[in-house]
Structure 1
Amino acid sequence: MASMVPPIPTADDKKADVKVDYSNLPCPIPFEELHREAMMSLKPELFEGMRFDFTKMLNQKFSLNHSVSMGPTEVPSQSAEIIKIPTANYEFGATVIDHPKMLLMGRALTDGRVTARVKYDLTENLTVKANAQLSSEPHASQGIVNFDYKGKDYRTQIQLGNGSLLGASYIQSVTNHLSLGGEVFWTGQHRKSGVGYAARYNTDKMVATGQIASTGMALLSYVQKVSDKVSLATDLMCNFNSMSRDVTASFGYDYILRQCRLRGKVDSNGVCAAFLEERLNMGLNFILSAELDHKKKDYKFGFGLTVGE
């Protein structure tokens, strides 16, 4: 009978059983979204003053958006002192969503700016994206068109923009958790070109990403998922081409409670920030924003309401 009992697997046996199926690798995330988990904690949408957003759903595909903001705006100055002037803006927008094939967004502001965004799936794997911003200021208008192709275990993108902007990127899954990619770009208006390389390693509990470009920029980020509601993030950004060799490190958190979400960060420049979204009722959210720059003695606080889903 003893010979019929199967042997107990050891740790070495378990490691040997785990093999990478290179013919069935997962599709990686887009190259431009490599740091998206870290950016959720470290780059919240901070603002100063008051903001009110209202969204009215006319039907399942069409909605209207109204936004009012009041607060100070920084004016460029040659001195170290920060100069701010009071401003107020109203924004009207419309959104059309034919999920998951098409997305149309348009926004018009009282300061003369008009923005538009288009996303359309030409095929199951090929998507075209377009972003445009028109401004009354000279040389401030921008337009970019992206063609994204999603393969079985890779993604590639071609980018065209005003100012003779040309770019291309490619990212490939190497294992079930590791993906490698690169990009090239050319800006004819500024006569500059460059290449970049990136690596991303992700599991159910963590995401580590590294990116470097020939322009001298390097960015490292790491996200640790402590639980389903708590995530910690950190990043390190270096600029090797600048005379001062700027290096900035940040640490942030993302805490999701039953009716609110709290995000914040602190960096090596002495900047502390926090962003709170509190759900007061169905379709009604209260927002608090704060950013303290102790080095520049610049303190920004904001509050707002969001009505509609």
Structure 2
Amino acid sequence: MESLYDSVASLFRTAPSITADAAVDRTDRVAVEKPRASPESARQGKGNADDLAELARQEAAAERARRSRELRRTQLQATPLPNPGKMDDLTKENQDVLSVPTYDGVRVEYHKPVVNARDKSLTYSHLLWLGPAHLQGGSSYEFATQLNMTNCTLMAQLDTSGMLNGRYHHQWTPSLLSKVQFAVAPAAKRQFDMALVEMDYSGSDYSANLKCSHDGMVVGSYLQSLSSTVSTGIECLFHPADYSLHSRYVGRFDNKSGGDNFCVSLLDQGTFNLSYTRRVSPRLTLASDFKFDPNNRESTAKVGYKWSLRQAQFRGAIDSNGVVSGALDETISPMMRFSVNGEIDHFANTYKFGFGVSVG
């Protein structure tokens, strides 16, 4: 009995190890019997991973493009387009260089301020011109006065022949300006009578102008900024005498930081005008102008310069017709200026020479 008991006890002591070994054998068999992935399944999984990577790259590119558009829109909203100015001033800087003031004879001006208050000022002037070419209407003397108030300006000129010229400007709002210009001549010079009404409107990034004359002629213009440096516009003229309508198309590039000003205009008849102004330095400005008319196949070109010093200014120009002109304007004192100018036409064999003094 005792030996039987020992045999049964030893059997129970060895049973757990047998059970554990059997479990390990079953686990190994399951691991060995687990099916392996086929080559086709591996290639399909790799293709899915490539598709997901390509999709991620496309989404990242779309997100970058969206952020770029939002940044550009934010920059445009933060920096609005500038006002392009008036159509009449489109080539003002170019003409300021090329339009050299020349005359023949002696010109004397005297300006006297009568009222110089904060909200108004009144000034009168005397103009005396001695030479072969006189003022408009053949007069050699002219009296002028100018009244400036907060929102309006009134100017008038009267010469010895009895001809009266006047201007009236009224600033209704910061954006709206109206102008009236007229001329009244004596009975013997009725051909100089005229009247012109003009309205200017300046928007945030555009400007519009409308003119109406006494003979029924109407001129309208519109100028729009496309960017901080580029603007374009159109001007139309209607003449009721022959019911004709003409148009002019303009474009301008003005890089104020770089000093370049480029303007081009095209008339409906085909006349082409191109002007370029270069601000080389704060003292020196160069300008050129080119015009071409395809109807008669004629063209003209002109180049000039303006050199500004502390108390003097030199201007000179030469064109393709052989006309050479130059002018010097010097400030002698805060109340006196002296000017001298000359012009010679080599083809016509004519010349001009004049000097003037302005006091006041």
TM-score scaled by length of structure 1: 0.85
Residue matched to 1:92: 143
Residue matched to 2:228: 176
Residue matched to 1:288: 340
Q: Please give the per-residue CA displacement for 1:141-180, whole angstroms capped at 9, x wherever unaligned.
A: 2221111111010000111112111111000000000000
Residue matched to 2:275: 221
**Larger helix share, 1 or 2:** 2
Give the 3-state SS of the residue equivalent to 1:93 in structure 2.
strand
CA distance in 1, matches of 2:163, 2:270: 32
Q: Please give the per-residue CA displacement for 1:180-233, whole angstroms capped at 9, x wherever unaligned.
A: 000111121354320110001001211000111124432211000010011000
Aligned pairs, number:
277
Residue matched to 2:62: none
Q: Please give the per-residue CA displacement for 1:68-95, whole angstroms capped at 9, x wherever unaligned.
A: 0011139xxxxxxxxxxxx761000100
Letter in 2 for 1:41: V
Where does the alignment leave 5 or more consecutive residues of structure 1 unmatched?
Answer: 1-16, 75-86
Q: Does 1:110 align with 2:160?
A: yes
Q: Is the 8 A contact 2:172 2:178 kept in 1?
A: yes
Residue matched to 2:67: none
Give the 3-state SS of the residue equivalent to 1:175 in structure 2.
coil
Q: Does 1:257 align with 2:309?
A: yes
Q: Percent identity?
A: 28
How far 1:18 moved relative to its partner? 8.2
**Larger strand share, 1 or 2:** 1
The answer to which of 28-37 and 87-96 deviates more is: 87-96
| Structure of greater relative contact order (alpha carbons < 8 Å, 6+ residues apart) | 1
Q: CA RMSD in A?
A: 1.9
Q: Please give the per-residue CA displacement for 1:8-58, whole angstroms capped at 9, x wherever unaligned.
A: xxxxxxxxx988727710001101111000100111332110000110001
Matches within 5 A, 1:159-308: 159-204=211-256, 205-241=259-295, 243=296, 245-308=297-360
The answer to which of 272-281 and 216-225 deviates more is: 216-225
CA distance in 2, matches of 1:188, 1:164: 6
Where does the alignment leave 5 or more consecutive residues of structure 2 unmatched?
Answer: 1-70
Question: Among 116, 119, 126, which residue is 1:66 paired with?
Answer: 126
Q: Does 1:57 align with 2:113?
A: yes
How far 1:119 moved relative to its partner? 1.2
TM-score scaled by length of structure 2: 0.73
How far 1:251 moved relative to its partner? 0.3
Q: Is the 8 A contact 2:222 2:235 kept in 1?
A: yes
Q: 1:305 to 1:91 in 2, by over 3 A?
A: same
CA distance in 1, matches of 2:190, 2:155: 24
Q: 1:188 to 1:198 in 2, by over 3 A?
A: same
Give the 4+ runs in structure 1 shifted more than 6 A: 17-20
Q: Does 1:132 align with 2:187?
A: no
Greater radius of gyration (CA): 2
Give the 3-state SS of the residue equivalent to 2:95 in structure 1.
helix
CA distance in 2, matches of 1:134, 1:273: 33
CA distance in 2, matches of 1:133, 1:120: 18
Give the 3-state SS of the residue equivalent to 1:139 in structure 2.
helix
How far 1:103 moved relative to its partner? 1.6
How far 1:134 moved relative to its partner? 2.6
How far 1:258 moved relative to its partner? 1.6
Question: Among 135, 143, 152, which residue is 2:195 paired with?
Answer: 143
Give the 3-state SS of the residue equivalent to 1:138 in structure 2.
helix
How far 1:133 moved relative to its partner? 2.3
